[in-house]
Structures are given as structure tokens and as C-alpha cells.
Amino acid sequence: MEIKKPTIKGIPYEEWKNNDYLEDMVRQLNENGTNVVVGCLDDLINWGRSNSLWPLTFATSCCGIEFMAVGAARYDFARFGFEVTRASPRQADMIMVAGTITHKMAPVLKRLYDQMADPKYVVAVGGCAICGGPFKKSYHVLQGVDKILPVDVYIPGCPPRPEALLYGMMQLQRKVKLEKFFGGVNRKQDKE
Amino acid sequence: MITIEPEKIHKALADLRSEGYDFLRSLTGMDWGEEGLGVVYHLGKTTTGENTVVKTATLNREHPELPSVCDLWKAAEFNEREVYDYFGIRFIGHPDMRRLYLREDWVGHPFRKDYDESLNPLRMTNEEPDDVTHHYEELPDGSVIKKREVIFDQDEYIINIGPQHPATHGVLRFRVSLEGEIIKKLDVHCGYIHRGIEKMCESLTYPQTLALTDRLDYLAAHHNRHALCMCIEKALGLEVSERVQYIRTIMDELQRIDSHLLFFSCLCMDLGALTAFFYGFRDREKILDIFEATTGGRLIQNYNTIGGVQADIAPDFVKKVKEFIAWLRPTLKEYHEVFTGNIIAHGRLDGVGVLSREDAISFGATGGTGRASGWACDVRKRHPYAMYSKVDFKEIIRTEGDCFARYMVRMDEIVESMNIIEQLIDNIPEGSFQEKTKAIIKLPEGSWYSAVEGSRGEFGVYLESRGDKYPYRLKFRSTGLPLVSIMDTVCRGAKIADLIAIGGTVDYVVPDIDR
Ligand code: SF4
């Protein structure tokens, strides 16, 4: 059975950036081949999973306020299935690292991530979470969360606009759609 | 500025205290290199508004020691811990000499000019909870001994709240000792978002330092930057045009409304009123639209500059602001119908977490929190800046000091802010929005302090320059640090559920506490 390109309803496929690495993953999956029954089940499960990603309520600073704004009236991420923010990592599917991560916070963040149940996703929101941002030279700021966690999607900005946050979250949905739920999780691109 | 030797400093400060200097505005640690390590005290009288500045320094770099002034002003408690953390100065007589921001296993003190960064790689081990602390005591013969102090007993029932908790509004951590549901003691842990902004500023040029102020208290981005610009302009002797003063004042007030709307939303959400959260955010977006049209940013705006503002106001700015005010006035009534009159809200807020006026002054808890306790602490009235001496507005003061008073002060301040804007918006004078400055800005030698009324209290900037294009030391008087230092006092005897209501109404922003 063939695995299709990940699409989001209402947005033309060509308008997405970074299609190539997803297509790479599709190619790999297709090369390995999928059983029709299992493949259909996978599709169904992924459809459900990608439309009900529950984020952890986690915000350390400025970007967190934009994250709240995305949850509130005007931008409303409930439209895409993100509205169930969980205060406990054990019930969350994804963690939006919104804000600066300092040296003192880093072990706490790692622990939060470890407490989440698999499959779990990390989105780095804002310059700080991506690389330290404006605090690159600080003695107490972690230079990017990818030093301690595997990051799925990066959303640049300081802070990113709500539209950018939504775009990033949809990119994550597309990624989730490409997972094999049965028989191993394919989340990582193979090394070239 | 008066300089006093360390041996006499406590006596001198005690004298000032009895003269009526009851408000410790700011306490700044300093490393003057050759001249030693020391502290600058900014004192104020709440009665007359007089100010004075005192400094002291010790030459001993190995074991710098100074007397603590905790017994005179409670505000010193957290500030001296901060100085210990940054500079390693031990305060004799301080009851709890732990680090405030950094981990206990941190090596060295980062704000010293000879600090070696390579000693502190990222540590991924979990922190040990600390149940004991220590203090330093001076014996009659002059020697200093270290004494153990217990924070929490072995058999106390302790609950940990934060750093990841939706109701702490950021990454703040409390350890609370409970007896049944009653809070016996509360220990605040800060530093989970300590970004070292002040230290970074020491290697940035003056225009560059401006960028970081927006990120301190992002709900008072305009105020913070206004304070720093004012301080630098004061040092340069630069007068900004009347147009700029008008724009800055209007922007400050819009920002205040924005912050108070967010306060309303978050408080209501914390207490379980989710609808109100959506109301507040919906209306806040309208302010953000106005900001965005002029400044280009929603949250972080980078608008004020040295000698002016970044860009002229958008062509439809005046119209938009008026529309917004016309919209908000009736909407506020709706807020009051939805939440303020609600019996559950009253049950959660009335008589909870009372802060007395004396405590508010002693801790230096300014802003809405201080005014709810009957302390007229508004910088806009005490030391008017920008257009505030020319507009007519009421300083909202209540005397109850409980959560409901703190809530109502902020709600009423929204109305006052609208009144201020209405007085200004039609008469913005013509003129340039940016004075000419040199390409490279160097300040003369000296030190300056200026303060503005931020969204949650007095935001001050203390700047010391040695004639370079970089500041020698830049200290921000955080609005949040005094607010979080009152938590132990206010929460004792309250129920654990009240902690959320108290934290919500005190309204701190954590990156502003940790800086
Ligand atoms: S990226 Fe910018 S807005 Fe986001 S947390 Fe960092 S400083 Fe704040």
C-alpha cells in the first residue's frame, strides 16, 4: 500500500515549506513496504492523533504569552485540535518549549520530557529555545533546547507571530501523519 | 551620593531609617574593582518623597562582608541574597544567606569583573531540595561564625509547587509547609528564568542594551524601555520633544491597560472562570493591533529609543485608539457583571492574603499591590515624568489590602489610564519623533537613577558609567522581586488554595523577578 504525501485540508501542498524531508520519509516508508490492513489502520490512527495533539502547558517567558494568545479567542488553536492543554506531562503529547531555558531550568525540562509518554514531540518556539536568541552570550542560558531534547519543529521569531505558531504546529501534524504506528516508529530521517 | 565605611554603615542607615526613610527603593551590588566590592542603597521617604543615595564598599575580595540591613527594611532580605549571589558579599546578620538565583553548586559569582565562565558548564543533575540554610553572625571579638538555620523540619509536611505549574505564571517555585490545609511557611525559589541580562548589558553599547529591557517584564515593555531611555537621556542631558513625551505617555498607558487585561484574564482563569479569560484576551488583541500598526511588534516592540521613538505613529493611530476606548468602557462593565459580582469570586478574594501598609512599604511592594494596602506609591504622582504632571488622573488607593482590593485597584486603573489617554490623544503636538544623537553614544562618568511606574510597580534603572560606550553597571529595580518576597508573609495562615488567588492578584511576572 502506498503512503501518501502529508497534507492538511484547505492548504495547497505546494505552499508548505520544507516538503523535501517529509517526502524523503515517505520514500523510505514506501521502500520498506506496508501491509494494506496495517497501513489502513495506521492512516486512521494517525488521522486521529494528528488532530488531537495535546500540548503541555509549559511557558517560561515572553513566547509563552504568545502561546496563550494562540489559545485564546482570536487565533484559537482549538480549531486544529490543540485546545486540551495539559498541566501534567503524563497526559501530554507534545511540549512547546516557549521561552528561554536557563541552566537551572534545563534539568527540570529534561525531567518533564522524560515523564511524557511515547510518542512525544518537541517544538522549539522562538529564538531562545532554538539557539539562545538574544541571550546567546549569557552565562546562564542554554544555547538551544536541541542540546538536551530531540526537537521536531523549530518556530523562529522573537516572539513568533501567532500565525507562525499555527504554521509550526501544523507542520508537526504533517510529521505525525507519517508515522508508522504499528511496527516501529519512524520519526527520524536516515543519515545520508 | 554619600559614601560611608562598612563599619559605620549600619548605624548610618539606622539613623536614616529613623529620620523617616522607610522605603528602600533599590539595593544594588557593585564591583568597583580597585575600590572594592560594595552596595548602593537608594532610599526614599514615603511621606515627602525625598530621596537619598548611600554607598559603601569593602576592600576584602576574599571574604567580603557587610552588615545586613534586613532589620531596617524587609526588602533587603531578597536583595541582599541577590547581591551575595552576584558578588559573593556576605551579609552579617542576614537570616538566610543562600543564593537567590543560581544553583547552590554554582562556582564563583558571575557579576564580579574577574569571574571565570569556564567553571560553570551546564549541569544536568537534579537539584537537591534544601531544608537547611545558614547565616553569619559576628561575635563580640569581631570574628564571624557560620551558623546553621533550619527552614523546614524533618517531620514537616512540605508540598512543592512549580517550577512547572500553570498557576505560578511562569517558572517560579514555592515550597510550602502545610498543616492540614493551612500554610505554615513558604519558601520561594527563584532563578529558573535568570538570564543574566544585567551582566550582558555590561558588554553591550547603550542602544543595544535597550533591546533587552523589553524582555524583562514583557507586559511592561514600553515602561521598561522608557525608564532606561530616560536614564540615558538624563545622563546625556538630552531633552526629547513634546511630541515624543506625548507618544510615550500614551503608549505607556496602553501598555498598562494591556497588562491589566491580561491580569484579569489570568486571575479569572486561575480561579476557574475560563470565559473571562477569553474576554480579556479578545480585547487585549485590539491593543496589540494598535501597537503593531505603529511599532511593528505585538509583544516585544522595541519602540523607545535614546532621544525619541523608533517610528512616527501610524496615520490611523488616533482614530484606532479612540475607537478602542469607546469599545472598552462598556466592555469593562460586562467584565464586572461576569466576574466581579460573582459570589465565587468574592468567596475566593475577600479578606484573603491581607498585606498591611507597613509591610508593603517595608518590602517595597509598589504598584497595585502597594496601593491596595493604602500606600500612595504611584511614581507617576510621586515623581512625575513625561506628561504625567500635566494630565489629571486619580491615584486609585484602597485600604483593605486583601486580594479583592488588589483586583479592584487594577480594574479601576484601567479606567484611569483611559482618562489619561483621552486627555492627550487629541493634542499630540507636531514635531520630530527622534532627536539627533551621536552615532556612538558615550555617557560621562557618573551614576543616575530613574524610575517609571510599570504595570506592576516602580521600575527603576540604576546606571553607572565610567565614560565608556558600555555601561559599567546597569541595574534594573525589578517590580516583581518585592512582590514575590511578600509571599511568605501574606500566605501564612491562608489555605493552600488561596495561594493561587494571592499569587494571581499580586501579579508578578517571573522573568522580571529573575532578570
Ligand atoms: S525568543 Fe524572544 S520573545 Fe521568545 S522567549 Fe526569547 S526573548 Fe522572549
pLDDT of residue B344: 86
Fold of B2-116: Beta Polymerase; domain 2 (3.30.460)
Task: List helix spans (H) across A51-125.
Answer: 62-71, 106-115
Q: Is B357 exposed, middle or buried (0-12, 13-18, 19+ CB in 10 A)?
A: middle
Give the whole-angstrom CA distance, residue A113 versus residue B124: 13
Give the whole-angstrom CA distance, residue A180 versus residue A38: 9
- The helix (run of H) or strand (run of E) holding residue B157 is strand B157-161
- The minimum-distance atom of ligand 1 relative to the CA of A158 is 2
- Contact list in B for residue A139 (CB cut-off 8 A) is 110, 115, 117, 120, 196, 199
**What 3-state DSSP class applies to B179?**
strand
Fold of A52-185: Rossmann fold (3.40.50)
Q: How many CB atoms lie within 10 A of CB B487?
A: 22
pLDDT of residue A181: 66
What are the residue ranges spanned by the domains of chain A? 1-38, 52-185
pLDDT band at A72 (very low <50, low <70, confident <90, very high): confident
The answer to whether B126 contacts A107, with C-beta atoms less than 8 Å apart, is: yes
pLDDT of residue B278: 87
**What 3-state DSSP class applies to B474?**
strand
pLDDT of residue A187 exceeding 60, the answer is: no
Higher pLDDT, B71 or A179: B71
pLDDT of residue A160 exceeding 80, the answer is: yes
What are the residue ranges spanned by the domains of chain B? 2-116, 197-426+433-509
Give the whole-angstrom CA distance, residue B411 versus residue B251: 18
Interface check B123 vs A, CB under 8 A: yes
Cell 490543540, residue located? A82
Residue B36 φ then ψ, to 5°: 95, 180
- Portion 183-202 of B in contact with A at CB < 8 A: 191-197, 199-200
pLDDT band at A170 (very low <50, low <70, confident <90, very high): confident
Beta-strand pair B445-454/B173-179: unpaired
Q: How many CB atoms lie within 10 A of CB B185?
A: 17
Higher pLDDT, A61 or A2: A61
- Radius of gyration of the CA atoms of chain B, in A: 23
pLDDT of residue A192: 46
- pTM assigned to the model: 0.89
Give the whole-angstrom CA distance, residue A169 versus residue B238: 47
Q: pLDDT tens, B273-305?
A: 888 888 888 888 988 989 888 888 888 888 888
User: How high is the ipTM of this complex?
Assistant: 0.85
Is A134 a pocket residue for ligand 1 (Cβ < 6 Å)? Answer: yes
Interface check B138 vs A, CB under 8 A: no
pLDDT of residue A191 exceeding 60, the answer is: no
Q: Tell how far CA B155 is from the center of its chain.
A: 35
pLDDT of residue A184 exceeding 70, the answer is: no
Burial readout A71-81 (b: 16 or more C-beta within 10 A, e: otherwise): bbeebbbeebb
Contacting residues for B310 by C-beta, under 8 A, at least 6 apart: B295, B302, B303, B304, B434
> Are B386 and B225 a contacting pair, CB within 8 Å?
no
Residues in chain B predicted with pLDDT less than 50, given as ranges, are none
Nearest to B484 by CA among B69, B195, B74, B72: B74
Q: pLDDT tens, A126-157?
A: 888 898 888 888 888 888 888 888 888 899 88
| Cα end-to-end span (Å), chain B | 26
- Contact list in A for residue B111 (CB cut-off 8 A) is none
Cis omega before residue A119 (within 30°)? yes
Task: Please report, rounded to a whole number, the percentage of residues in chain A having pLDDT higher than 70.
Answer: 91
Interface check B215 vs A, CB under 8 A: yes
Is A159 a pocket residue for ligand 1 (Cβ < 6 Å)? Answer: yes
Select from A74, A104, A142 the Cβ nearest to the Cβ of B103: A104
Is A62 a pocket residue for ligand 1 (Cβ < 6 Å)? Answer: yes
Interface check B298 vs A, CB under 8 A: yes
Higher pLDDT, A191 or B219: B219
Mean pLDDT of chain B: 86
Q: Tell how far CA A62 is from the center of its chain.
A: 19
Q: Tell how far CA A88 is from the center of its chain.
A: 18
What is B197-426+433-509's CATH number, 3.40.1410.10, 1.10.260.30, 1.10.645.10, 1.10.760.10? Answer: 1.10.645.10
**What 3-state DSSP class applies to B138?**
strand
User: How remote is the CA of residue A61 from the centroid of ligand 1, in Å?
Assistant: 7
pLDDT of residue B313: 85
Cis omega before residue A107 (within 30°)? no
> Are A66 and A160 a contacting pair, CB within 8 Å?
yes
Residue A140 φ then ψ, to 5°: -130, 15
- Contact list in B for residue A159 (CB cut-off 8 A) is 298-300
Counting one residue from chain A and one from chain B, the pairs whose CB atoms sit within 8 A come to 125
Burial readout B140-167 (b: 16 or more C-beta within 10 A, e: otherwise): eeeeeeeeeeebbeeeeebeebbbbbbb
- Radius of gyration of the CA atoms of chain A, in A: 17
Higher pLDDT, B462 or A10: B462
pLDDT of residue B312: 84
Contacting residues for A17 by C-beta, under 8 A, at least 6 apart: none
- Contact list in B for residue A138 (CB cut-off 8 A) is 195-197, 199-200
Interface check B299 vs A, CB under 8 A: yes
Cell matching residue B199: 551582566
> Are B463 and B231 a contacting pair, CB within 8 Å?
yes
Nearest-Cα residue of chain A relative to residue B102: A104
Contacting residues for B129 by C-beta, under 8 A, at least 6 apart: B160, B175
Where are any strands of DSSP class E within B162-200?
173-179, 182-189
Q: What DSSP line would sit under B52-106, residue for residue?
A: EEEEEEE--SSS-EEE--TTT-TTHHHHHHHHHHHH--EEET-S----SSS-TT-
Interhelix angle B242-270/B221-236, nearest 10 degrees: 150
> Are B86 and B473 a contacting pair, CB within 8 Å?
no
Interface check B289 vs A, CB under 8 A: no
* Dihedral sign computed on CA atoms, order A110, A116, A122, A127: negative
Mean pLDDT of chain A: 82
Cell 576592600, residue located? B59
- The helix (run of H) or strand (run of E) holding residue B367 is helix B367-372
